Amino acid sequence: MKIIETLKKDTLSLSFEVFPPKTDSGFESVKEATEKIAELKPAFMSVTYGAGGGTSKYTLNIAKNIKDRFGVESLAHLTCVSSTRDTVLARIGDMKAAGIENVMALRGDLTPELMDSDRSQWPYHHAVELIREIKESGADFCIGGACYPEIHPESANQKEDIAHLKEKVDAGCEFLTTQMFFDNNLLYNFLYKIREAGITVPVVAGIMPITNAKQVERAVKLSGSFMPQRFKALVDKFGSDPAAMKQAGIAYATDQIIDLFANNVTNVHVYSMNKPDVAEKIQSNLNRILGK
């Protein structure tokens, strides 16, 4: 099923993101974790794509397993930066053969090594080119793209960032998933601006439950997200007590989701980081709202 159908509904759609292992030895434990999350029967699950594509077989394997064994629709991520055209076309073919119907088309991060390399010969420099490639390949996927309520770190300003976002939507991107954010007002502001710019596709709000103090630093470094004072106070108070921090982080994420839905943001994607217990707790906190 194409997930765009789910995203158009006005009930709360709660979905989870998982990531593939880096090595063969990690595969079974990651698979088990993703299966436990699939047992929760979320609206869909996304499976990320390792930078450089070295773990692409695991992305596909996990996405296929979730769909075939648990009947949970999967969204397979695909990045294009530094990839050859042959590789991208092969990945598209693999996804089609595996019965995948939903693809998250991404550029991928520019690592310092990639920044220093000769990029003039690359076939793809931005996600929009991958979206066009998928469309031209004739693959009938529902295509998603990434968006940034706090601006992509490489963009000079939000106007420019939103103009490029519009190009992705015009190229065939049917929905957008946001980078994590910890202050819902940033999302409301962003939604107002993109709607004004003529971007009308569903936007899925990306929520990261911070369940240990170390994650805070990593999350800020990765995403550049603004940490509201209310969130910082929580980390100050509970950061040294792992069990309390986990409970507080889940409560904060739940509270964000309830506020989003109360403000008519119906699609929420939880960056569950392969943690079934966290996914389960957030879902059970919302069971009446989800009608479960």
- List interacting residues with ligand FAD (CB under 6 A): 48-49, 51, 77, 79, 106-109, 126-128, 146, 152, 154-155, 161, 164, 167-168, 177, 179, 206
Q: Which residue number, 170 or 241, has a Cβ lying nearer to ligand FAD?
A: 170
Q: How far is the CB of 80 from ligand FAD (least distance, A)?
A: 8
Q: Which residue number, 59 or 65, has a Cβ lying nearer to ligand FAD?
A: 59
Q: How far is the CB of 277 from ligand FAD (least distance, A)?
A: 23
Q: How far is the CB of 186 from ligand FAD (least distance, A)?
A: 14
Q: How far is the CB of 115 from ligand FAD (least distance, A)?
A: 11
> First vs last Cα of the chain: how many Å apart?
21
Q: How far is the CB of 147 from ligand FAD (least distance, A)?
A: 7
Q: Which residue number, 48 or 283, has a Cβ lying nearer to ligand FAD?
A: 48
Q: Which residue number, 96 or 152, has a Cβ lying nearer to ligand FAD?
A: 152
Nearest CA to 134 out of 178, 166, 100, 164 is that of: 100
Residue type, 290: L
113 belongs to the catalytic site: no
Q: Which residue number, 48 or 256, has a Cβ lying nearer to ligand FAD?
A: 48
Q: What's the number of CA atoms in the CB half-sphere (13 Å) around residue 229? A: 0
Question: What residues are labeled active site?
Answer: 17
